[in-house]
Structures are given as structure tokens and as C-alpha cells.
Structure 1
Amino acid sequence: MNERQMRDWMKESLGRLKTLRDEIRVDIHLAGMEARDKWKELEPVMRDAEKLADEVTEVSQRTMEDLVERFRGFRESLRHHRPSGQT
């Protein structure tokens, strides 16, 4: 992957993180206190990701992949533990 492709990939990944963040914010309203506490730990990572998106290194790429997966995993845990009858 050349530098241009990696930069584009990082911007796309940041976009995925922002979408996940927005979905999580909606889900968090339906979640319990434990989930809210976990989100308070995870949400500040978004600022780091925005800075990371400007870096074009293999380390930043791996870190971004990890962040996207952490956000996805958290969102899925919220949806999995949602009380029945809520979507």
C-alpha cells in the first residue's frame, strides 16, 4: 500500500469510527450504568484516532484497525445486552 492509499484508508477508517461512535451514542441511551462507564473510558480514544488519521505508518494503520474493532465490539456488546423489545 503506497502512502496515498494508506492516507485514504486511514481517512475511511476514521469515518467508520465516527459512524460507530454515533451509533454507540444512540445505543448508550438504552444501556445500563456499566455500559455508560465503559463508554466514558472508550470515547476519549476518538480524539487520539483523529490525530492518528494524519499519520501514515504501519503502526498507525494497525492501531486504527484495533480502534475500529474495539468500537465495533463495544457497539455489538451494547446491542447484544439490550433489553428485549428494543432495537
Structure 2
Amino acid sequence: MSENTLKAEIEKGISRMQTLRDEVRVRLHLAGMDAKEEWDKLEPSLVDIERKAEDFTDATRRAVEDALKRLSALRSKLS
């Protein structure tokens, strides 16, 4: 995978992650304690991934993909 392709994938993933994070924050206002506890565990890793996103590596891409899955699952629980 070329560096430009990898960079584009990571940037796209970070953008999607930020959108999902914002949606989850809004829905958490209406959620129960279990969801809030799950969010409290997930949110710090999102910040860390965003910092690491400047390193365009396969490991970063995988971390972004994993975060997107976890955020999507949490958002689904909050629907």
C-alpha cells in the first residue's frame, strides 16, 4: 500500500471517528450508566489514536479501524 493511499485511508477513518464520537456524546446525555462507563473506557483511546494518526502506518490504520468498530457498536447500543 502506498504512503499516499495509507494516509488517505487514515485521514478518512479519523474523520469518521470524530463524527461518530460527536454522535455518541450527544446520545450519552440520554443513556444509562452502563453506556457512560463504556464511553469512559473508550474515549481516552480515541484521543490517543488521533495523536498517532500523524504516523501513516498499517498499525495506525488498524487502530483507526478498531476504534471505528467500537464506536459504531456503542452508537448502536445508544439508538
TM-score higher than 0.5 here? yes
Q: Which has the higher contact order (CA 8 A, sep 6+)?
A: 2
Instruction: Give runs of aligned pairs for residues 39-78 of structure 1, distance below 5 A.
Output: 39-78=39-78
Bigger mean CA deviation after superposition, 39-48 or 12-21? 39-48
Which residue type is aligned with residue 74 of structure 1? L
Q: Aligned equivalents of 1:56 and 1:7: distance in 2? A: 5
- Which 5+ residue runs of structure 2 have no aligned equivalent? none
Q: In the TM superposition, what is the alpha-carbon distance from 1:52 to its structure 2 partner?
A: 2.4
CA deviation string 1:10-41 (max 9, x = no partner)? 11100000000000011101101111111111
Q: Aligned equivalents of 1:49 and 1:11: distance in 2? A: 11
Which residue type is aligned with residue 49 of structure 2? A
Equivalent residue, structure 2, for 1:14: 14
Q: TM-score, normalised by structure 1?
A: 0.83
- Which 5+ residue runs of structure 1 have no aligned equivalent? 80-87
Equivalent residue, structure 2, for 1:33: 33
Moved over 4 A (4+): none
Q: TM-score, normalised by structure 2?
A: 0.91
Q: In the TM superposition, what is the alpha-carbon distance from 1:49 to its structure 2 partner?
A: 1.4
Q: Aligned equivalents of 1:16 and 1:30: distance in 2? A: 22
3-state SS, counterpart of residue 51 of structure 1:
helix
In terms of fraction of residues, the more helix-rich structure is 2
Q: Is the 8 A contact 1:52 1:64 kept in 2?
A: no
Aligned identity (percent) is: 38
